[in-house]
């Protein structure tokens, strides 16, 4: 058994390793889609309205209906005040209607997160917030639907007709989800 261990000499010089690293870093963006890539589109028909911000859509090209959560809004829970009214409004607007989904990933329940457009409503999220059937998910004056929410609130539309409407997030924190 030898007294010392010798390591093999490295076959690449430092400049060669640096060049390899640079090449790999340059190719890395090609391996994954860019962050600014267009969201995927899906056409389908609404088969079910679960609540004021969740639907099921049967894809136009076939396949099983997909659970979809409207992105950028939070409607009252179904057991919460104005929850059934929010669901009814969405049913009247969307049930059995063709829709176009602009998909943005999935939520924690594995539902598709999507912007939803219908023939007479190019942005269902904006419409629901403007009618007072949902809160804008983003808070503050720069939120996605802040202007629609401010107008609905000032005019006392939908849930804003209540003296102190409780945001769904706060409702869930206090009472949990509906059974």
Per-residue pLDDT of the chain (179 residues; tens, 9 = 90+): 555 555 455 555 667 667 665 665 665 555 555 555 566 999 999 999 999 999 999 999 999 999 999 999 999 999 999 999 999 999 999 999 999 999 999 999 999 999 999 999 999 999 999 999 999 987 666 788 999 999 999 999 999 999 999 999 999 999 988 87
Give the residue extent of every domain in the chain: 40-175
Per-position DSSP letters for 68-103, written without gaps between them: EEETTEEPPPTTSTTHHHHHHHHHHHHTT-EEEEEE
Sign of the C-alpha dihedral computed for residues 76, 79, 85 and 87 taken in this order: positive
Of 122, 133, 156, nearest to 73 (Cα)? Answer: 133
- Residue (of 72, 155, 74) closest to 116 by Cα position: 72
Q: How high is the pLDDT of residue 18?
A: 73
- Asked if residue 74 lies in contact with residue 129, where contact means CB atoms within 8 angstroms, the answer is no
Closest C-alpha to 127, from 108, 102, 152, 99: 152
- 40-175: CATH topology is OB fold (Dihydrolipoamide Acetyltransferase, E2P) (2.40.50)
CA nearest 113: which of 48, 170, 55?
55
pLDDT at res. 97: 98
∠103-36-122 over CA atoms, to 5°?
Answer: 40
Close Cβ partners of 103 (under 8 Å, ≥ 6 residues apart): 39, 40, 41, 42, 112, 113, 114
The DSSP output letter for 39 is P
pLDDT on residue 7: 46
Per DSSP, the three-state class of 59 is strand
* Closest C-alpha to 177, from 83, 57, 85, 73: 83
* Structure letter (DSSP) for residue 121: B
Q: Strand, helix or coil at 162?
A: coil
pLDDT of residue 85: 98
């Amino acid at each position: 058994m030898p007294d010392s261990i010798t390591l093999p000499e490295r076959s690449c010089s430092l400049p060669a390793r640096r060049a390899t690293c640079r090449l790999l870093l340059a190719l890395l963006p090609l391996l994954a889609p860019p962050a600014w890539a267009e969201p995927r589109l899906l056409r389908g028909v609404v088969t079910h309205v679960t609540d004021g911000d969740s639907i099921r859509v049967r894809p136009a090209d076939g396949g099983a209906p997909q659970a979809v959560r409207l992105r950028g809004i939070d409607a009252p829970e179904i057991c919460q005040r104005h929850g059934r009214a929010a669901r009814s409004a969405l049913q009247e607007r969307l049930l059995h209607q063709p829709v176009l989904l602009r998909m943005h990933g999935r939520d924690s329940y594995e539902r598709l997160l999507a912007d939803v457009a219908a023939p007479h409503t190019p942005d269902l999220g904006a419409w629901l917030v403007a009618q007072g059937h949902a809160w804008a998910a983003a808070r503050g004056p720069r939120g996605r639907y802040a202007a629609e929410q401010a107008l609905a609130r000032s005019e006392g539309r939908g849930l804003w007709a209540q003296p102190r409407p409780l945001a769904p997030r706060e409702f869930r924190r206090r009472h949990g989800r509906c059974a």
